[in-house]
């Protein structure tokens, strides 16, 4: 009987340990759009994310202007399917960052991007705390897409 208990406990422990594996982000790269008619200095951040035990992950983006010593560049105006609470793991996920809106008039040849993934995604319908403050609302990527009430991009 003790042997059977040890086997069941071992299988249960292995299943729980596998579930606890954190998501892994790799292959992060950023590219400023060459032809950006919006004037927002859009930057596409591409990455891969793997998480064998979670169907969705939470993705956040940080930007450094000093090669990764600090991560103080403001990142508020983002879009794309690769950021937020319910990103499906996979290859070539995309975040669209409006550098010209968040960091106007600035530039650096030492910019680095840090993409972080967690699998602490709240279940659908769960309320989450949204910190007080301003945010950008509207369509920031393509004025030809979306509804007329999404333009122009504005601070709320």
Mean predicted lDDT score pLDDT of the chain: 81
- In angstroms, rounded to a whole number, what is the distance separating the alpha carbons of residues 26 and 65? 20
Task: Indicate whether 54 belongs to any domain.
Answer: yes
Task: Indicate whether 7 belongs to any domain.
Answer: no
Residue pair 51/74 in contact by the 8 Å Cβ criterion: no
What was the pLDDT predicted at 120? 78
- In angstroms, rounded to a whole number, what is the distance separating the alpha carbons of residues 17 and 145? 44
Task: Indicate whether 138 belongs to any domain.
Answer: no
Mean pLDDT in residue range 40-45:
90
- In angstroms, rounded to a whole number, what is the distance separating the alpha carbons of residues 15 and 40? 47
Q: What is the pTM of this model?
A: 0.67
Greatest Cα pair distance, the chain, in angstroms, is 72
Which residue range(s) make up the domain with 101? 23-122
Task: Indicate whether 9 belongs to any domain.
Answer: no
Task: Indicate whether 146 belongs to any domain.
Answer: no
Q: Which of 16-25, 73-82, 88-97 comes out lowest in average pLDDT? A: 16-25
Mean pLDDT in residue range 106-113:
93
Number of compact structural domains in the chain: 1
Task: Indicate whether 50 belongs to any domain.
Answer: yes
Q: How confident is the model at residue 137 (pLDDT cuts 50, 70, 90)?
A: confident
What was the pLDDT predicted at 116? 96
Task: Indicate whether 1 belongs to any domain.
Answer: no
> CA nearest 97: which of 156, 24, 47?
47
Task: Indicate whether 144 belongs to any domain.
Answer: no
3-state secondary structure of 16: helix
């Amino acid at each position: 009987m003790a042997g059977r208990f040890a086997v069941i406990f071992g299988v249960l422990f292995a299943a729980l340990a596998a579930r606890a594996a954190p998501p892994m982000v790799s292959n992060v790269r950023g590219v400023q759009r060459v032809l950006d008619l919006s004037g927002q200095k859009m930057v596409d951040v591409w990455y891969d994310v793997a998480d064998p035990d979670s169907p969705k992950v939470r993705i956040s983006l940080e930007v450094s202007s000093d090669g990764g010593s600090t991560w103080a560049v403001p990142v508020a105006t983002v879009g794309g399917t690769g950021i937020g609470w319910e990103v499906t793991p996979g290859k070539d996920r995309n975040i669209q960052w409006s550098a010209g809106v968040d960091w106007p008039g600035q530039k650096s040849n030492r910019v680095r991007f840090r993409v972080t993934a967690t699998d602490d995604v709240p279940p659908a319908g769960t309320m989450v705390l949204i910190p007080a403050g301003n945010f950008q609302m509207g369509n920031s990527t393509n004025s030809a897409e979306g509804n007329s009430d999404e333009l122009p991009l504005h601070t709320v």
